[in-house]
Amino acid sequence: MNFKTIASASLFAVLSFGTIAAQAASAPMHESGAMQYRYGEHLDVKKVLSVQDDQSNACGLVNTRMDYLDSHGQQQSVQYRTYATGGCHEN
Burial 54-86 (b: 16+ CB within 10 A, else e): beeebeeebbbbbebeeeeeeebbbbbeeebee
Looking at the domain assignment, is residue 40 inside a domain? Answer: yes
Domain extent at residue 74: 3-84
Based on the structure, what is the number of domains in the chain? 1
Q: Which residues contact 16 (CB under 8 A, 6 or more apart)?
A: none
Residue 38 in any domain: the answer is yes
Digitized pLDDT (tens) for each residue of the chain, 91 residues in all: 677 677 666 665 655 545 444 444 455 445 557 889 888 899 999 999 999 887 767 788 889 999 999 999 999 999 999 887 777 776 5
Q: How far apart are CA 29 and CA 81, in angstroms?
A: 11
Q: Does the global pTM surpass 0.85?
A: no
Write the CATH number for 58. Answer: 2.30.140.50
Residue 89 lies in a domain: no
Residue 63 resides in a domain = yes
Residue 16: CB atoms within 10 A of its CB come to 10
Q: Does any domain span residue 90?
A: no
